[in-house]
Protein backbone atom coordinates (compact mmCIF):
# COMPACT_ATOMS: atom_id res chain seq x y z
CA UNK A 1 0.00 0.00 0.00
CA UNK A 2 2.84 2.38 0.82
CA UNK A 3 5.13 1.28 -1.96
CA UNK A 4 4.59 4.59 -3.66
CA UNK A 5 6.38 6.67 -1.03
CA UNK A 6 9.70 8.16 -2.01
CA UNK A 7 12.09 9.93 0.37
CA UNK A 8 14.27 12.63 -1.17
CA UNK A 9 17.14 14.25 0.72
CA UNK A 10 18.67 17.49 -0.51
CA UNK A 11 22.11 18.47 0.82
CA UNK A 12 23.33 21.91 1.80
CA UNK A 13 24.75 22.90 -1.59
CA UNK A 14 21.44 21.96 -3.22
CA UNK A 15 19.57 24.54 -1.15
CA UNK A 16 22.33 27.13 -0.79
CA UNK A 17 20.24 30.05 -2.05
CA UNK A 18 16.71 31.04 -3.04
CA UNK A 19 17.15 30.11 -6.70
CA UNK A 20 18.29 26.62 -5.76
CA UNK A 21 15.45 26.22 -3.27
CA UNK A 22 13.01 27.08 -6.07
CA UNK A 23 14.72 24.52 -8.31
CA UNK A 24 14.41 21.86 -5.60
CA UNK A 25 10.74 22.76 -5.16
CA UNK A 26 10.15 22.18 -8.88
CA UNK A 27 11.90 18.84 -8.69
CA UNK A 28 9.91 17.69 -5.68
CA UNK A 29 6.63 18.69 -7.33
CA UNK A 30 7.64 16.86 -10.50
CA UNK A 31 8.22 13.69 -8.47
CA UNK A 32 4.78 14.05 -6.93
CA UNK A 33 3.22 14.56 -10.36
CA UNK A 34 4.87 11.32 -11.42
CA UNK A 35 2.58 9.60 -8.93
CA UNK A 36 4.64 9.38 -5.75
CA UNK A 37 3.94 10.46 -2.21
CA UNK A 38 6.99 12.56 -1.43
CA UNK A 39 8.77 13.04 1.88
CA UNK A 40 11.65 15.51 1.65
CA UNK A 41 14.56 15.80 4.08
CA UNK A 42 16.65 18.97 3.86
CA UNK A 43 20.04 20.05 5.15
CA UNK A 44 20.74 23.60 6.25
CA UNK A 45 21.42 26.21 3.55
CA UNK A 46 24.98 26.05 2.18
CA UNK A 47 27.56 26.30 4.96
CA UNK A 48 25.08 27.35 7.65
CA UNK A 49 26.10 24.62 10.11
CA UNK A 50 29.79 25.59 9.87
CA UNK A 51 28.85 29.24 10.30
CA UNK A 52 26.77 28.51 13.39
CA UNK A 53 29.63 26.54 14.94
CA UNK A 54 32.05 29.37 14.14
CA UNK A 55 29.68 31.81 15.81
CA UNK A 56 29.58 29.68 18.96
CA UNK A 57 33.38 29.46 18.92
CA UNK A 58 33.60 33.23 18.97
CA UNK A 59 31.93 33.09 22.36
CA UNK A 60 33.68 30.07 23.79
CA UNK A 61 36.27 27.46 22.76
CA UNK A 62 34.20 24.70 24.26
CA UNK A 63 30.52 25.42 23.65
CA UNK A 64 28.28 23.28 25.87
CA UNK A 65 26.98 20.50 23.66
CA UNK A 66 23.34 20.92 24.63
CA UNK A 67 23.39 24.55 23.54
CA UNK A 68 25.35 23.69 20.41
CA UNK A 69 22.51 21.36 19.45
CA UNK A 70 19.93 24.07 20.12
CA UNK A 71 21.95 26.33 17.84
CA UNK A 72 22.74 23.89 15.03
CA UNK A 73 19.19 22.56 14.80
CA UNK A 74 17.99 26.01 13.72
CA UNK A 75 19.77 25.62 10.37
CA UNK A 76 17.50 22.84 9.14
CA UNK A 77 14.40 24.52 10.51
CA UNK A 78 15.10 27.49 8.24
CA UNK A 79 15.64 25.41 5.09
CA UNK A 80 12.61 23.16 5.64
CA UNK A 81 10.26 26.12 6.15
CA UNK A 82 11.62 27.93 3.08
CA UNK A 83 11.22 24.83 0.92
CA UNK A 84 7.62 24.39 2.11
CA UNK A 85 6.93 28.01 1.09
CA UNK A 86 8.58 27.47 -2.28
CA UNK A 87 6.46 24.40 -3.01
CA UNK A 88 3.27 26.15 -1.95
CA UNK A 89 4.17 29.05 -4.20
CA UNK A 90 4.18 26.78 -7.23
CA UNK A 91 0.80 25.45 -6.31
CA UNK A 92 1.26 22.21 -4.37
CA UNK A 93 0.41 21.62 -0.75
CA UNK A 94 3.39 21.17 1.52
CA UNK A 95 4.08 21.25 5.24
CA UNK A 96 7.39 21.40 7.09
CA UNK A 97 8.26 19.75 10.39
CA UNK A 98 11.15 19.72 12.82
CA UNK A 99 12.61 16.33 13.79
CA UNK A 100 10.80 16.56 17.13
CA UNK A 101 7.43 17.17 15.50
CA UNK A 102 7.63 13.95 13.52
CA UNK A 103 8.81 11.93 16.49
CA UNK A 104 12.45 11.32 15.62
CA UNK A 105 13.47 10.00 19.05
CA UNK A 106 17.16 9.82 19.93
CA UNK A 107 19.44 8.99 22.83
CA UNK A 108 20.97 11.81 24.86
CA UNK A 109 24.38 11.95 23.14
CA UNK A 110 24.33 15.62 22.15
CA UNK A 111 26.00 16.45 18.78
CA UNK A 112 26.16 12.77 17.80
CA UNK A 113 22.87 11.32 18.94
CA UNK A 114 21.57 8.03 17.62
CA UNK A 115 18.01 7.57 16.44
CA UNK A 116 16.11 5.11 18.61
CA UNK A 117 12.75 5.24 16.96
CA UNK A 118 10.54 7.19 14.60
CA UNK A 119 6.81 7.58 14.94
CA UNK A 120 5.57 7.92 11.38
CA UNK A 121 1.90 8.63 12.21
CA UNK A 122 2.05 12.37 11.65
CA UNK A 123 3.84 12.02 8.32
CA UNK A 124 1.43 9.36 7.08
CA UNK A 125 -1.53 11.51 8.04
CA UNK A 126 -0.20 14.44 6.03
CA UNK A 127 0.63 12.24 3.06
CA UNK A 128 -2.96 10.96 3.14
CA UNK A 129 -4.07 14.58 2.74
CA UNK A 130 -2.04 14.59 -0.45
CA UNK A 131 0.57 16.95 0.96
CA UNK A 132 4.29 16.94 0.40
CA UNK A 133 5.98 16.49 3.78
CA UNK A 134 9.25 18.26 4.49
CA UNK A 135 11.35 17.22 7.46
CA UNK A 136 14.30 19.14 8.91
CA UNK A 137 17.29 16.79 8.66
CA UNK A 138 20.03 16.16 11.20
CA UNK A 139 17.90 16.53 14.34
CA UNK A 140 15.81 14.67 16.84
CA UNK A 141 14.50 14.85 20.37
CA UNK A 142 15.13 12.86 23.54
CA UNK A 143 12.56 11.34 25.86
CA UNK A 144 12.94 14.36 28.10
CA UNK A 145 12.27 16.79 25.24
CA UNK A 146 15.86 17.86 24.62
CA UNK A 147 16.81 18.72 21.03
CA UNK A 148 19.72 16.70 19.67
CA UNK A 149 21.68 16.54 16.42
CA UNK A 150 22.87 13.40 14.66
CA UNK A 151 26.51 14.14 13.81
CA UNK A 152 27.86 16.00 10.77
CA UNK A 153 26.19 14.92 7.55
CA UNK A 154 23.31 13.66 9.71
CA UNK A 155 20.54 14.57 7.28
CA UNK A 156 21.51 11.42 5.45
CA UNK A 157 20.57 9.32 8.44
CA UNK A 158 17.29 11.20 8.90
CA UNK A 159 16.44 10.30 5.32
CA UNK A 160 17.36 6.63 5.71
CA UNK A 161 15.45 6.33 8.98
CA UNK A 162 12.32 7.83 7.42
CA UNK A 163 12.65 5.64 4.33
CA UNK A 164 12.91 2.60 6.60
CA UNK A 165 9.84 3.33 8.75
CA UNK A 166 7.76 4.50 5.80
CA UNK A 167 8.87 1.46 3.79
CA UNK A 168 9.68 3.85 0.97
CA UNK A 169 10.45 2.49 -2.45
CA UNK A 170 13.72 4.39 -2.53
CA UNK A 171 15.77 6.90 -0.59
CA UNK A 172 17.16 9.49 -2.99
CA UNK A 173 20.21 11.45 -1.85
CA UNK A 174 20.36 14.55 -4.02
CA UNK A 175 23.67 16.36 -4.01
CA UNK A 176 25.96 18.54 -6.11
CA UNK A 177 27.53 15.60 -7.98
CA UNK A 178 25.40 13.21 -10.04
CA UNK A 179 26.44 10.06 -8.22
CA UNK A 180 29.22 8.26 -6.41
CA UNK A 181 32.47 8.38 -8.35
CA UNK A 182 35.54 6.13 -8.43
CA UNK A 183 37.35 8.99 -6.63
CA UNK A 184 36.47 12.50 -5.51
CA UNK A 185 35.82 14.26 -8.86
CA UNK A 186 37.33 17.43 -7.41
CA UNK A 187 40.68 15.61 -7.26
CA UNK A 188 40.56 13.17 -10.17
CA UNK A 189 39.30 14.78 -13.37
CA UNK A 190 38.57 11.52 -15.19
CA UNK A 191 36.86 9.80 -12.25
CA UNK A 192 33.94 7.67 -13.42
CA UNK A 193 30.41 7.50 -12.07
CA UNK A 194 29.65 4.14 -10.46
CA UNK A 195 26.23 2.76 -11.52
CA UNK A 196 25.83 0.31 -8.68
CA UNK A 197 27.74 -0.36 -5.51
CA UNK A 198 27.21 -2.61 -2.48
CA UNK A 199 26.43 -1.26 1.01
CA UNK A 200 29.65 -2.81 2.21
CA UNK A 201 31.90 -1.03 -0.27
CA UNK A 202 30.04 2.26 0.10
CA UNK A 203 30.39 2.01 3.87
CA UNK A 204 34.16 1.54 3.53
CA UNK A 205 34.36 4.39 1.02
CA UNK A 206 32.35 6.74 3.24
CA UNK A 207 34.27 5.91 6.38
CA UNK A 208 37.57 6.42 4.61
CA UNK A 209 36.87 9.79 3.08
CA UNK A 210 34.18 9.81 0.37
CA UNK A 211 32.17 12.53 2.03
CA UNK A 212 29.30 12.16 -0.43
CA UNK A 213 27.40 10.00 2.09
CA UNK A 214 27.65 9.74 5.85
CA UNK A 215 28.92 6.32 6.94
CA UNK A 216 26.30 5.83 9.62
CA UNK A 217 23.49 6.29 7.13
CA UNK A 218 24.82 3.44 5.00
CA UNK A 219 25.05 1.17 8.00
CA UNK A 220 21.40 1.91 8.72
CA UNK A 221 20.37 1.48 5.09
CA UNK A 222 22.06 -1.90 4.99
CA UNK A 223 20.42 -2.98 8.24
CA UNK A 224 16.93 -2.05 7.10
CA UNK A 225 17.40 -2.88 3.41
CA UNK A 226 16.78 0.69 2.23
CA UNK A 227 17.77 1.15 -1.40
CA UNK A 228 19.74 4.37 -1.80
CA UNK A 229 19.96 6.33 -5.02
CA UNK A 230 22.63 9.05 -5.02
CA UNK A 231 21.65 11.65 -7.62
CA UNK A 232 22.53 15.13 -8.78
CA UNK A 233 20.07 17.87 -7.80
CA UNK A 234 21.04 19.71 -10.95
CA UNK A 235 21.16 16.66 -13.23
CA UNK A 236 18.42 14.59 -14.82
CA UNK A 237 20.57 11.48 -15.22
CA UNK A 238 20.43 8.25 -13.24
CA UNK A 239 22.87 8.29 -10.36
CA UNK A 240 24.37 5.51 -8.26
CA UNK A 241 22.31 2.73 -6.70
CA UNK A 242 23.53 1.42 -3.37
CA UNK A 243 22.08 -1.97 -2.53
CA UNK A 244 22.97 -5.52 -1.59
CA UNK A 245 25.84 -7.10 -3.42
CA UNK A 246 25.01 -8.28 -6.94
CA UNK A 247 27.04 -10.81 -8.88
CA UNK A 248 28.41 -8.49 -11.52
CA UNK A 249 30.09 -6.37 -8.87
CA UNK A 250 32.43 -9.17 -7.90
CA UNK A 251 34.34 -8.85 -11.13
CA UNK A 252 35.52 -5.40 -10.21
CA UNK A 253 38.79 -5.61 -8.32
CA UNK A 254 38.90 -2.08 -6.95
CA UNK A 255 35.78 0.10 -6.99
CA UNK A 256 37.14 3.35 -5.65
CA UNK A 257 40.02 5.34 -4.16
CA UNK A 258 39.42 7.62 -1.21
CA UNK A 259 41.39 10.20 0.74
CA UNK A 260 41.10 11.74 4.19
CA UNK A 261 43.32 14.73 4.77
CA UNK A 262 42.71 15.32 8.43
CA UNK A 263 44.71 12.58 10.11
CA UNK A 264 47.12 13.06 12.96
CA UNK A 265 49.64 10.40 13.97
CA UNK A 266 50.54 10.05 17.63
CA UNK A 267 53.36 7.88 18.97
CA UNK A 268 53.80 6.83 22.58
CA UNK A 269 57.55 6.16 22.79
CA UNK A 270 59.29 3.24 24.49
CA UNK A 271 56.21 1.64 25.94
CA UNK A 272 57.33 -1.12 28.36
CA UNK A 273 56.75 -4.46 26.65
CA UNK A 274 54.49 -6.11 29.16
CA UNK A 275 50.84 -7.16 29.29
CA UNK A 276 48.43 -4.32 29.86
CA UNK A 277 50.42 -1.38 28.42
CA UNK A 278 48.47 -1.12 25.17
CA UNK A 279 45.23 -1.87 26.98
CA UNK A 280 45.82 1.07 29.30
CA UNK A 281 46.56 3.51 26.45
CA UNK A 282 43.48 2.65 24.44
CA UNK A 283 41.25 2.27 27.46
CA UNK A 284 41.99 5.86 28.46
CA UNK A 285 41.56 7.17 24.91
CA UNK A 286 38.25 5.34 24.73
CA UNK A 287 37.09 6.85 27.99
CA UNK A 288 37.85 10.29 26.55
CA UNK A 289 35.63 9.41 23.57
CA UNK A 290 38.50 9.70 21.08
CA UNK A 291 38.07 7.92 17.76
CA UNK A 292 41.28 5.98 17.23
CA UNK A 293 41.63 4.71 13.67
CA UNK A 294 44.83 2.81 12.83
CA UNK A 295 47.16 1.34 15.41
CA UNK A 296 50.63 -0.12 15.02
CA UNK A 297 53.01 -1.57 17.54
CA UNK A 298 56.47 -2.69 16.58
CA UNK A 299 58.16 -5.87 17.67
CA UNK A 300 60.15 -5.15 20.78
CA UNK A 301 63.88 -5.84 20.77
CA UNK A 302 64.84 -3.99 23.89
CA UNK A 303 61.95 -4.54 26.28
CA UNK A 304 60.22 -1.39 25.08
CA UNK A 305 58.38 -0.55 21.89
CA UNK A 306 56.74 2.44 20.18
CA UNK A 307 52.96 2.41 19.84
CA UNK A 308 51.59 4.66 17.08
CA UNK A 309 48.01 5.42 16.18
CA UNK A 310 46.00 7.91 14.17
CA UNK A 311 43.15 10.18 15.25
CA UNK A 312 41.15 12.89 13.46
CA UNK A 313 43.18 16.10 13.60
CA UNK A 314 40.51 18.01 15.47
CA UNK A 315 40.85 15.51 18.30
CA UNK A 316 44.64 15.86 18.51
CA UNK A 317 44.76 18.32 21.42
CA UNK A 318 42.48 16.15 23.52
CA UNK A 319 44.46 13.04 22.49
CA UNK A 320 47.83 14.52 23.46
CA UNK A 321 46.52 15.38 26.91
CA UNK A 322 45.40 11.80 27.49
CA UNK A 323 48.47 10.23 25.83
CA UNK A 324 50.92 12.26 27.92
CA UNK A 325 49.12 11.33 31.09
CA UNK A 326 49.04 7.62 30.26
CA UNK A 327 52.67 7.67 29.11
CA UNK A 328 53.69 8.76 32.61
CA UNK A 329 51.50 6.16 34.26
CA UNK A 330 52.83 3.18 32.30
CA UNK A 331 56.48 4.27 32.36
CA UNK A 332 56.79 5.14 28.64
CA UNK A 333 59.13 7.86 27.37
CA UNK A 334 56.80 10.58 26.21
CA UNK A 335 54.68 11.29 23.16
CA UNK A 336 55.46 12.59 19.67
CA UNK A 337 53.02 13.50 16.92
CA UNK A 338 52.65 14.57 13.31
CA UNK A 339 49.48 16.43 12.41
CA UNK A 340 50.09 16.67 8.68
CA UNK A 341 49.05 13.18 7.68
CA UNK A 342 46.57 11.80 5.14
CA UNK A 343 45.10 8.38 4.54
CA UNK A 344 44.61 6.96 1.07
CA UNK A 345 42.51 3.82 0.61
CA UNK A 346 41.59 1.39 -2.18
CA UNK A 347 38.21 -0.32 -1.78
CA UNK A 348 36.60 -3.22 -3.61
CA UNK A 349 34.79 -6.48 -2.88
CA UNK A 350 36.86 -8.11 -5.61
CA UNK A 351 39.79 -8.07 -3.17
CA UNK A 352 38.21 -10.97 -1.36
CA UNK A 353 38.91 -13.33 -4.18
CA UNK A 354 41.95 -11.70 -5.82
CA UNK A 355 45.39 -11.16 -4.41
CA UNK A 356 47.92 -8.60 -5.54
CA UNK A 357 46.01 -5.42 -4.78
CA UNK A 358 48.29 -4.57 -1.86
CA UNK A 359 51.41 -5.14 -3.96
CA UNK A 360 50.10 -2.88 -6.75
CA UNK A 361 49.18 -0.23 -4.23
CA UNK A 362 52.58 -0.19 -2.51
CA UNK A 363 54.47 -0.28 -5.78
CA UNK A 364 52.44 2.61 -7.19
CA UNK A 365 53.13 4.74 -4.14
CA UNK A 366 56.82 3.78 -4.24
CA UNK A 367 57.07 4.75 -7.92
CA UNK A 368 55.70 8.17 -6.98
CA UNK A 369 58.34 8.47 -4.26
CA UNK A 370 55.66 8.45 -1.55
CA UNK A 371 56.64 6.95 1.78
CA UNK A 372 54.09 4.82 3.62
CA UNK A 373 53.89 5.48 7.35
CA UNK A 374 51.23 2.99 8.37
CA UNK A 375 49.18 0.30 6.67
CA UNK A 376 45.91 -1.30 7.58
CA UNK A 377 43.73 -3.75 5.74
CA UNK A 378 40.26 -5.19 5.92
CA UNK A 379 38.72 -7.84 3.73
CA UNK A 380 37.77 -5.27 1.11
CA UNK A 381 40.03 -2.28 1.83
CA UNK A 382 43.69 -1.35 2.02
CA UNK A 383 44.64 1.96 3.63
CA UNK A 384 48.01 3.71 3.81
CA UNK A 385 48.87 6.67 5.99
CA UNK A 386 51.14 9.08 4.12
CA UNK A 387 52.21 12.71 4.33
CA UNK A 388 49.34 15.06 3.68
CA UNK A 389 51.27 16.90 0.97
CA UNK A 390 51.32 13.65 -1.04
CA UNK A 391 47.60 12.94 -0.63
CA UNK A 392 46.20 14.11 -3.95
CA UNK A 393 49.16 12.80 -5.92
CA UNK A 394 48.60 9.37 -4.36
CA UNK A 395 44.90 9.33 -5.23
CA UNK A 396 45.59 10.25 -8.86
CA UNK A 397 48.32 7.63 -9.22
CA UNK A 398 46.27 4.83 -7.65
CA UNK A 399 43.18 5.73 -9.68
CA UNK A 400 45.31 5.27 -12.77
CA UNK A 401 47.11 2.15 -11.57
CA UNK A 402 43.80 0.36 -10.98
CA UNK A 403 42.53 1.54 -14.34
CA UNK A 404 39.49 3.32 -12.92
CA UNK A 405 39.40 6.28 -15.29
CA UNK A 406 36.96 6.94 -18.12
CA UNK A 407 37.48 4.58 -21.00
CA UNK A 408 37.95 6.56 -24.19
P1 LIG B 1 25.74 17.65 0.39
O2 LIG B 1 25.83 19.11 0.60
O3 LIG B 1 24.73 17.30 -0.67
O4 LIG B 1 25.54 16.86 1.64
P5 LIG B 1 28.54 17.00 0.37
O6 LIG B 1 29.34 18.22 0.07
O7 LIG B 1 28.46 16.53 1.79
O8 LIG B 1 27.09 17.20 -0.26
O9 LIG B 1 29.06 15.78 -0.53
C10 LIG B 1 29.20 15.92 -1.92
C11 LIG B 1 30.65 16.09 -2.29
O12 LIG B 1 31.36 14.88 -1.97
C13 LIG B 1 30.91 16.29 -3.75
O14 LIG B 1 30.92 17.65 -4.09
C15 LIG B 1 32.26 15.61 -4.01
O16 LIG B 1 33.29 16.55 -4.28
C17 LIG B 1 32.58 14.90 -2.70
N18 LIG B 1 33.06 13.55 -2.92
C19 LIG B 1 34.14 12.99 -2.30
N20 LIG B 1 34.37 11.76 -2.73
C21 LIG B 1 33.41 11.48 -3.65
C22 LIG B 1 33.12 10.34 -4.47
N23 LIG B 1 33.86 9.23 -4.42
N24 LIG B 1 32.05 10.41 -5.30
C25 LIG B 1 31.29 11.53 -5.36
N26 LIG B 1 31.52 12.63 -4.62
C27 LIG B 1 32.56 12.62 -3.77
N1 LIG C 1 23.76 20.53 8.16
C2 LIG C 1 24.39 19.39 8.79
C3 LIG C 1 25.88 19.39 8.46
O4 LIG C 1 26.36 20.28 7.79
C5 LIG C 1 23.76 18.10 8.42
C6 LIG C 1 23.83 17.72 6.96
O7 LIG C 1 24.12 18.55 6.10
O8 LIG C 1 23.57 16.56 6.65
O9 LIG C 1 26.57 18.52 8.91
MG1 LIG D 1 26.79 16.10 3.23
Q: pLDDT tens for residues 206-231?
A: 999 998 999 999 999 999 999 999 99
Task: Please tell me the residue having the least CA distance from ligand 2 atom 5.
Answer: 153
265 with 308: CB under 8 angstroms? yes
Ligand nearest to the CA of 77: 2
Rounded to whole angstroms, how far apart are CA atoms 119 and 125? 12
Closest-approaching ligand to the CA atom of 154: 2
- Rounded distance between C-alpha atoms, residue 177 and residue 185, angstroms: 8
- Ligand nearest to the CA of residue 202, numbered in listed order: 1
Atom of ligand 1 nearest to the CA of 233: 3
Kindly state if the Cβ of 211 falls inside 6 Å of ligand 1: yes
Q: Rounded to two decimals, what is the model's pTM?
A: 0.91
Instruction: Report the share of the chain in percent with pLDDT over 90.
Output: 88
Q: Does 2-176 carry CATH code 3.30.450.40?
A: no
User: Best mutation site among 45, 137, 161, 174 for ligand 2, i.e. most ligand atoms within 8 A of its Cβ?
Assistant: 137
| Tens-place pLDDT, residues 131-185 | 999 999 999 999 999 999 999 999 999 999 999 999 999 999 999 999 999 999 9
Measured torsion, CA atoms of residues 111, 242, 195, 17, in degrees rounded to the nearest 10: -30
Interatomic CA distance for residues 162 and 101, integer angstroms: 13
153: Cβ below 6 Å to ligand 2? yes
42, 111, 137, 155: residue to mutate for ligand 2 pocket, most atoms within 8 A of CB: 155
Tell me which DSSP letter residue 92 carries: -
Residue whose Cα lies nearest atom 4 of ligand 2: it is 49
Of 152, 158, 176, the one to substitute when testing ligand 1's pocket (max ligand atoms within 8 A of C-beta) is 176
Indicate whether residue 242 lines ligand 1 (CB < 6 A).
no
Residues of the chain with pLDDT under 70: 1-3, 246-251, 408
Which residue CA neighbors atom 4 of ligand 1 most closely? 11
Nearest-atom index, ligand 1, CA of 175: 3
Amino acid sequence: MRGDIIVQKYGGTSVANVERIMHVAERVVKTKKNGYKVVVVVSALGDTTDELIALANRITDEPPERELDMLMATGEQVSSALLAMAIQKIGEEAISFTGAQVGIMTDRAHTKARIQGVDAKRILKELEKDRIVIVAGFQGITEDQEITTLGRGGSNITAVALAAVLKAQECEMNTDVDGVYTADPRIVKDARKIDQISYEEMLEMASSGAQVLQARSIEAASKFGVRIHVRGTFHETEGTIISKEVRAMENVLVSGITLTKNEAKVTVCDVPDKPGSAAKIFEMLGEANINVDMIIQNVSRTGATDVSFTVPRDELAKTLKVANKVSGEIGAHGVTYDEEMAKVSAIGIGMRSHSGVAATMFKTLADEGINIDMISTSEIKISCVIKKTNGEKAVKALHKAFDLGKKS
